[in-house]
Amino acid sequence: MEKNTNTEPILTVKSLEKKFPVYSAFGKLFGTTAHVHAVRDVSFQLYEGETYGLVGESGSGKSTTGRTILGLTPATNGQVLYQNQDLTKMSETELRYFRKDLQMVFQDPFSSLNPRKKIGSILEEPLVIHKLGNREERETKVFEVLKLVGLQAEHYFRYPHEFSGGQRQRLGIARALIMNPKVIICDEPVSALDVSIQSQILNILKELQKSLGLTLLFITHDISVVRFISDRIGIMYLGSIVEEAPTEALFAEPLHPYTKALFSAVPDFTSKRLKDRVVLKGEIPSPLSPPSGCAFHTRCPFATAICKQQTPILKEIKPAHYVACHLVEEKE
């Protein structure tokens, strides 16, 4: 599904930045020695009912972006606009009101479930915090949500350790759904699961999105997964988005060298793919001391002098296809 330019976005991220302070070996007493620039100048929009995939290597800033959008990690700069309200400027009390509309599914479901509480109590907790319904109404709501994610009523009375990995992730989705959210941020929700279980979870998300009208921000490093579930995709490298396009357009013609390298890493032994393969050298640079100019130039096989000197701007090269690369601009 391509974005509808006739509608307003449900969520807008503008020039989002997140820096983490680095302290000396003696702690905070002697002040900050440096900053880790985890997210830098990230901008994108989510439209109602779509899935926006955020892809990149480990350390590219994907998860930090998701957590910063929700306010779980305070933003350093930038805006996150929801219902014309900037979430980054809100206090914890003000943000709590909007969190019922903005929920998250975490990568590790077991660590996000209290092992001392039964599932019924865990799922009811958000309803209690927001003072929604009486005890009987809350129980009814939990049973409804458990059914939505393919679990049984009897699971209400069990503890987290009694579930398999796939069932725990279903519980993570159920907890996100309990508040009837409009936007769900999925942070690598299937990366720790077997392939067969991954497909079940992905299908559940797609079915729930269709039936409930959900908008998803899907964070992953798995190219095959993001192609299956996403309508649009943003490619992240060292804290920045370097390419964004509708899914099929991106896979039909990736333009940024980093995107081409990511797609080349997907196993495919046909002669054409082997011929066009782009192989990355070295590791992703440290966000403590990022390269000058284009952050990707240290690993890019096509880098030129301008790549080392000037930071490229994300520009629309084709309709709805944005790229931050000096080389692509030259070709156009």
pLDDT in tens, 216-264: 999 999 999 999 999 999 999 999 999 999 999 999 999 999 999 888 8
Residues 185 and 175 in one domain: no
Say what the pLDDT of residue 275 is.
54
Does any domain span residue 312? yes
Three-state secondary structure call for residue 29: strand
Q: Is residue 5 part of a domain?
A: no
| Highest mean predicted confidence (pLDDT) among 17-26, 229-238, 278-287 | 229-238
Confidence of residue 94 (pLDDT cuts 50, 70, 90): confident
Residues 46 and 191 in one domain: yes
Tokens, residue 188: 């690598």
* Cβ contacts of 131 within 8 Å, gap of 6 or more: none
Query: Percentage of the chain with pLDDT > 90?
Result: 66
Same domain, 77 and 125: no
pLDDT category of residue 279 using cuts at 50, 70 and 90: confident
pLDDT, one tens digit per residue, over 303-332 is 899 999 999 999 999 999 999 999 886 444
pLDDT band at 99 (very low <50, low <70, confident <90, very high): confident
Domain assignment of residue 4, yes or no: no
60 and 70 share a domain? yes
Domain boundary among 126, 146, 180: 180
CA–CA separation, 20 and 13 (whole Å): 19
CATH assignment of the domain containing 205: 3.40.50.300
Count of domains observed in the chain: 2
Mean pLDDT to the nearest integer, 174-200: 91
Q: Which structural domain range is residue 185 located in?
A: 11-101+181-331
DSSP line for 140-188: HHHHHHHHHTT--GGGGG--GGGS-HHHHHHHHHHHHHTT--SEEEEES
Conformational region of residue 183, where left means phi above 0, alpha means psi within -120 to 50, and beta covers everything else: beta
Write down which residue in 142, 164, 180 finishes a domain. 180
pTM exceeds 0.85: yes
Same-domain check for residues 234 and 170? no
Task: Mark which of 180, 202, 220 sits at the end of a domain.
Answer: 180
Q: CB atoms < 10 A from the CB of 325, how many?
A: 25
Q: Tell me which residue of 207, 14, 214 sits closest to 103, measured CA to CA.
A: 214
